[in-house]
Every structure is written in structure tokens, then in C-alpha cells.
Amino acid sequence: MKCPYCGYTESKVIDTRPADEGERIRRRRECLRCEKRFTTYELIETTPLMVVKRDGSREVFDRDKLLGGMIKSCEKRPVAFSVLEDAVADIVTQLQNGLEREIPSARIGELCMEKLRGIDQVAYVRFASVYRQFQDVNSFFEELQRLREAIPKEVPGGTEGK
């Protein structure tokens, strides 16, 4: 860190505290040449994720929009809000940890459907019907068939098949 008084680039940290409700870190430093003290602030640099929609347009990723879609899919279903929040947090983490800054909306939809499939099958089908834009009953039925095939079959005697 460059000293604002003498321009020397070496300093030592004397005190570190959170600032702005943990959004930044405030550091008191002392220049190793002139021994004057100064304050610096450190913050996490974030690059916004951009969603590339089907029509090619782009918009900033909105976590609340994703959560809202999942909530709507789970309406009147026995799914706790905390479960949906955890699912959204997992999706967001997965997207942020990826190297892409522009994510196709199809990728986000697939991640969401993957999470909903494990949470509630009815919510999964609801989400899929909107996301995949089913055109008729046959396409809806085909999705239900895929879901049924993915569910482990029960074997007589109460144990699940392999």
C-alpha cells in the first residue's frame, strides 16, 4: 500500500476492523519509512453475473427472481422456505464459482429444475411446465414419464431397488 505522505510502498497494519456492517474492512497502517499513519478500506471486488436470455438480450442476474420462481412452483406444497433459500444459495454459489460471467438462462433453469426434482416432484413439474414451455399435453406427459423413470422402483418387501 502506497503511503499518501511520502509515497513509500511498504507499510505495516496496526489495526483491522469490519466497517459498513461487514461489507468492508478498515485498516490502520503505518508507513515503514516516514512512520505516519493512514487508513485504508478493503472490499470484495465482485463482477456481476449476466444472464443471456433466449432472445439474446442480457440482464444482471437477480437472485430474488430465481427464488421467486421457485416459491411460485412450490405454492401450496409442503416445502419450507429455508429449503428453497438453501437451494438458491447452492445455485448462486455454483454460478459464481464458474468461470463464466455470462450465463445462458437455460443453464440457470436446468440447475433450478435439478434442485426442485430433489425437493418436491410436483414443484419440479410446475417449474418445468413454465420453463420448457410445454406446447401440448403430450410434451407435458413426456416430462412426467422421464420423472417416473428417474424415481427408484419399490421392490416387494419394502426395500428399494438398485
- Intervals of the chain under pLDDT 70: 45, 132-140, 143, 147, 151-162
Structure confidence at residue 162 (pLDDT) = 42
Distance CA(40)–CA(42), nearest Å, equals 7
> Dihedrals φ, ψ of 101, to 5°?
-100, -20
Structure confidence at residue 155 (pLDDT) = 42
Both 65 and 142 in a single domain? Answer: yes
Q: What pairs with residue 133 in β-bridges?
A: none
Both 57 and 117 in a single domain? Answer: yes
Both 78 and 114 in a single domain? Answer: yes
Structure confidence at residue 1 (pLDDT) = 84
Both 59 and 27 in a single domain? Answer: no
Structure confidence at residue 161 (pLDDT) = 45
Distance CA(88)–CA(103), nearest Å, equals 15
Domain count, the chain: 2
35 falls within a domain: yes
